[in-house]
């Protein structure tokens, strides 16, 4: 016969298991929320401040992919041990996600102290990790929020810490950000933009604009890059530098991209057949194996020749999941779509990517082009890129050309293609047709002369 004690002991063990992360032995998401709930309750009558922090490992996925999942698990266990050892008798640390940890500092009362304690955690985690006979290094980003009022719930505090973490990761690796009222306003604005963007995509209100790409020697237009533009009835004109990252982060980029590509290919059907259309894919689209199918379905629907389409991808996009990106790239190239590496020179291990992937074209980042006239290192880098591409049999386009002198220097170095405000700003489909008519008339006049 089971005793009451035995039943109680079993129930306690089951509860402990439900609140424990199996890999690290730390508390899990439920344990963390329970701890914060209890502390809020204890301080309900006298709401003395305390700190909640969310810590996310920077670059864990590439290390996991490089060394394997077992090594990744070993690193997470070592991270957990270091974090646990750094906690005082009042504090708690839990694992709440794959490479995300949360901690509670009941005795940290100020933003300055929260930031200082968090920087100490990052320092502790920056020491090398043993991975078999090798070592690996990691950094971490942290977002913190402070409890000030009895009106705040655990969910509110954690959401604020997550918002701060988002700002920390956007500002670079190894950063600490403590939540502020300004972030709350920024978060609300992001939500407003997200909701408006979802409605705009659903209603088909995001439009493609087109910027010419030219042969630098003849100045003849050889193609156009597609750029998304959006004007909201309430928000007004929202820059792509604002709405594209939001679309990426909030899972809207797929439908947005498909809408813009459909409209762009419909417009480009009426262009001369020797002009190509260039279109950017986002990093998240390079991990979605349906991306190629979506692109081909749109081309089939609009009747646009795949051989006139170029897909631009960035090195950052490739790094998220190289195997997935490689399969998508090969699927596209199989039907005649060309693939360009965009923003070359601004990512990591660029030469390695050129060896691993077959690109048809490389686009030199505007950062080098803008300083080509007065910066010797930029000049040498561009010369080296052009020589490399000639050896690899790749076409080249220099981005961000705004001055005749820049274009002349690039021609002198042997660069064939160019793009930038010197040749034309992005304009809508109707204005692009007008541009092409003017170019055609100009070509006829030149022949007559």
pLDDT for 320 equals 73
pTM of the model: 0.74
pLDDT for 158 equals 96
Q: Cα separation of 215 and 213, whole Å?
A: 7
Backbone angles phi, psi at 18, to 5 degrees: -65, -20
Q: SS in 3 state form for 238-276?
A: ECHHHHHHHHHHCCCHHHHHHHHHHHHHHHHCCCCCCCE
Average pLDDT over residues 119-127: 96
Burial of 79 (0-12, 13-18, 19+ CB in 10 A): buried
- Judged against a pLDDT cut of 80, whether residue 4 lies above it is answered with no
On the CB side of 236, CA atoms within 13 Å amount to: 0
Residue 170's H or E segment, with its range, is helix 154-170
Domain boundaries, the chain: 17-179, 189-448
Average pLDDT over residues 62-75: 85
pLDDT for 14 equals 60
Share of the chain above pLDDT 70, in %: 93
Q: Which long-range contacts (CB under 8 A, 24 or more apart) does 293-302 make?
A: 294/254, 294/258, 295/261, 295/332, 295/337, 296/335, 298/258, 298/261, 298/262, 298/265, 299/265, 301/262, 302/262, 302/265, 302/266, 302/269
- Judged against a pLDDT cut of 70, whether residue 7 lies above it is answered with no
pLDDT for 198 equals 98
- Judged against a pLDDT cut of 80, whether residue 147 lies above it is answered with yes
pLDDT for 15 equals 63
What is the dotted CATH code of the domain comprising 17-179? 3.30.70.270
- Judged against a pLDDT cut of 80, whether residue 302 lies above it is answered with yes
- Judged against a pLDDT cut of 80, whether residue 325 lies above it is answered with yes
- Judged against a pLDDT cut of 90, whether residue 111 lies above it is answered with yes
Banded model confidence at residue 157, pLDDT cuts 50, 70, 90: very high
194-224 burial by CB neighbour count: b if 16+ within 10 A, else e?
bebbbebbeeeebbbbbbbbbebeeeebbbb
- Check for a shared fold between 17-179 and 189-448: no
Query: Which residue is associated with the tokens 């309750």?
Result: 41
pLDDT in tens, 216-236: 999 999 999 999 999 999 999
pLDDT for 282 equals 92
Q: Cα separation of 404 and 144, whole Å?
A: 49
| 329, two tokens | 């790239």
Average pLDDT over residues 160-168: 93
Query: Which residue is associated with the tokens 């940290």?
Result: 108
Banded model confidence at residue 386, pLDDT cuts 50, 70, 90: very high
CATH fold of 189-448 reads TIM Barrel (3.20.20)
pLDDT for 349 equals 47
The mean of the pLDDT values for the chain is 91
């Amino acid at each position: 016969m089971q005793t009451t004690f035995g039943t109680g002991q079993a129930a306690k063990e089951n509860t402990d298991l439900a609140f424990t992360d199996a890999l690290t032995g730390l508390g899990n998401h439920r344990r963390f929320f329970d701890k914060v709930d209890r502390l809020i309750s204890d301080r309900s009558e006298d709401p003395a401040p305390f700190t909640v922090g969310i810590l996310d490992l920077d670059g864990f996925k590439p290390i996991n992919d490089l060394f394997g999942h077992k090594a990744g698990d070993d690193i997470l266990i070592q991270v957990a041990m270091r974090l646990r050892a750094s906690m005082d008798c009042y504090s708690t640390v839990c694992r709440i996600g794959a490479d995300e940890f949360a901690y509670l500092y009941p005795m940290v009362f100020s933003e300055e102290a929260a930031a200082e304690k968090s920087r100490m955690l990052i320092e502790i985690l920056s020491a090398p990790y043993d991975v078999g006979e090798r070592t690996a290094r990691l950094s971490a980003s942290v977002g913190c929020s402070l409890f000030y009022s009895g009106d705040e719930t655990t969910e509110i505090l954690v959401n604020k810490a997550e918002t701060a973490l988002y700002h920390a990761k956007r500002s670079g690796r190894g950063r600490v950000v403590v939540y502020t009222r300004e972030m709350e306003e920024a978060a609300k604005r992001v939500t407003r933009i997200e909701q408006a963007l979802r409605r705009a995509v659903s209603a088909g209100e995001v439009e493609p604009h087109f910027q010419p790409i030219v042969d630098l020697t003849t100045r003849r237009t050889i193609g156009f890059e597609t750029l998304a533009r959006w004007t909201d009835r309430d928000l007004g004109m929202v820059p792509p530098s604002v709405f594209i990252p939001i679309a990426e982060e909030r899972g809207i980029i797929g439908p947005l991209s498909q809408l813009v590509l459909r409209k762009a290919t419909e417009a480009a059907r009426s262009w001369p057949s020797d002009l190509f259309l260039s279109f950017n894919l986002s990093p998240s689209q390079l991990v979605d194996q349906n991306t190629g199918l979506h692109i081909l379905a749109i081309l089939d629907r609009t009747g646009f020749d795949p051989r006139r389409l170029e897909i631009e991808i960035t090195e950052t996009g490739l790094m998220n999941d190289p195997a997935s990106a490689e399969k998508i790239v090969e699927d596209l190239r199989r039907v005649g779509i060309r693939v360009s590496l965009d923003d070359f020179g601004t990512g990591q291990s660029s030469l390695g990517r050129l060896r691993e992937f077959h690109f048809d074209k490389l686009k030199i980042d505007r950062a080098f082009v803008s300083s080509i006239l007065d910066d010797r290192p930029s000049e040498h880098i561009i010369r080296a890129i052009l020589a490399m591409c000639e050896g690899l049999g790749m076409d080249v386009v220099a981005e961000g050309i705004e001055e005749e002198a820049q274009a002349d220097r690039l021609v002198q170095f042997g660069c064939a293609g160019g793009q930038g405000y010197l040749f034309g700003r992005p304009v809508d489909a109707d204005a692009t047709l007008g541009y092409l008519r003017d170019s055609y008339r100009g070509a006829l006049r030149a022949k007559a002369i």
